[in-house]
Chain A
Amino acid sequence: MSNTDNETTHFGYEQVKVEEKATKVADVFHSVAAKYDIMNDLMSFGVHRLWKRFAIDCSGIRPGQKVLDLAGGTGDLTAKFSRVVGDKGQVVLADINDSMLKVGRDKLRDLGVVSNVDYVQANAEALPFPDNTFDLITIAFGLRNVTDKDKALRSMYRVLKPGGRLLVLEFSKPSNELLSKAYDMYSFNLLPTMGKVIANDSESYKYLAESIRMHPDQATLQGMMDSAGFEQTQFYNLTGGIVALHRGYKF
């Protein structure tokens, strides 16, 4: 604890003090919350909806189950989970950022999703739930913003029920060299410009592009899940590895 002042971590391509990262990430998401959905659609040409659908198909969700949608942002996954688990089930939408949580809550209420969803502002590194609580935990496009990812994975393992599963949907490393080049050009040149024009905030979108590059690749993340205790871990590359879905079980 004595030398935390000197420890640094990455914030995009910058190095910042460990205790500053959360605040800086929070600033980014406070800034993008209002336009988050429309930017997602524009940036991914709508494909993010398919990535999320694939995650739901892999979730094995059933009526009556308890789900934690971590870093659930504007509630895309929560909406569907809430409909499938039904009245006897429960979905907890958790996000560290209260701006995102508010946008999510408003959107879900507009969709008519009310009865079985709870909203919790929580840090993924220290989840405020008892051990063995959830049948399913999902974290979609959230893990790369967490300061201490290993700690977060251990925390998720703790609150997951034995037999439950974790799904991590996150940007990853494209497997094809050519695709990788095109993707780099798109995300470093086009993306910040789109962010500037639509959300008037090029810095936040520059951070998003950089943070994707700093995130561990498919095999590394799988290894991190293994060391957090998850079993039968595997990953699926989506859209040529631009995004990967990792799945692990707790037994």
Chain B
Amino acid sequence: MPFPTLISAVVETALNHLLTLDRTHHLRMQPLLGKTIAVTLAEYKQPLYFHFSSTKIDVLNRYEGKCDVELGLALNTLAALKNTPNISELIKQDQLVIQGDIKVLQQFADLVTELDIDWAELLSHYTGDLVAHRATLGVKKTLSGLHHKSLESKQQLAEYLSQEKRLVLGQLEFVHFSDQVSELEQRTERLLQLTNSLGTH
């Protein structure tokens, strides 16, 4: 069995399953109906064709019709794509190749990145409302707790290095030091001018 067939089957199943978790996906897929997008990953070479219809997204390995837009990129470029101002830079560096209607691509990206999935609702089918609410609240709290902790420990590390070990400078100390350096520079300059003028007399 050809390997690409398995890949497209897995991508199609996963993508469609993910979309059904978002109840509004039908509405957001509307502008993409009947469109076909070709995506080629540099690591995989074989293009995948995404065809949009009212009921689902079909993923094909070969497509002989016309694509609305063709996209070529490497997996690590995907991460860089999150910072939108980078796009033109990436195109210039040939890390991103786009041919065709860029609007269609934008709509596809929106569809995937703006998924609105109500995890509590999904979980409640298995556990009941109360447990689902508690669990999702718990996960949210833990996540924000972790975020807070990581900020806190970063600050602690910075204080430890700058104040206790004196290995690095604080920002103010650095500014003060820079000021001292430039003052010294000016004084040297003045002294130089003075010696020069003394020498000419």
> A residues within 8 Å of B by Cβ?
47, 49-51, 53-54, 56-58, 60-63, 80, 83-84, 86-87, 111-113, 238-239
Contact = CB atoms under 8 A, between A and B. Distances in A.
Given A53-B8, A239-B1, A60 B55 contact: no
A54 B53 contact: no
Contacts of A47: 1
A176 to B, nearest CB: 14
The interface residues of chain B, by DSSP majority, are classed as: loop
Nearest to B65: A62
B9 A49 contact: yes
A170 B61 CA distance: 21
Nearest to B34: A86
B8 A63 contact: no
Most chain B CB within 10 A, of A54, A87, A112, A238, is at A54
B175 interface: no
Contacts of A112: 54-55
B43 interface: no
Given A53-B9, A60-B64, A83-B53, A238 B34 contact: no
9 contacts: A50-B6, A53-B5, A57-B61, A60-B64, A83-B51, A84-B58, A87-B34, A238-B2, A239-B1
A60 B2 CA distance: 17
Given A56-B60, A57-B62, 12 more contacts: A47-B1, A54-B2, A54-B5, A57-B5, A57-B8, A60-B62, A62-B63, A62-B65, A80-B58, A83-B53, A84-B58, A112-B54
A12 to B, nearest CB: 27
Interface string B25-37: 0000000001000
Most chain B CB within 10 A, of A58, A83, A111, is at A83
A63 B1 contact: no
Please list the 7 inter-chain residue pairs (A to B) with the smallest Cβ-Cβ separation, ordered nearest first: A62-B65, A83-B53, A60-B64, A57-B61, A57-B62, A112-B55, A54-B5
Interface residues of B, number: 21
Nearest to B2: A54
A111 B61 contact: no
Given A49-B9, A63-B34, A83 B1 contact: no
Contacts of B60: 56-57, 84
A146 to B, nearest CB: 26
Contact of B1 (A50, A87, A111): A50
B56 interface: yes
A78 to B, nearest CB: 13
A83 B62 contact: no
Contacts of B56: 83
B1 A238 contact: yes
A62 B60 CA distance: 12
A111 B55 contact: yes
A83 B64 contact: no
A31 to B, nearest CB: 30
Nearest to B13: A49
B5 A50 contact: yes
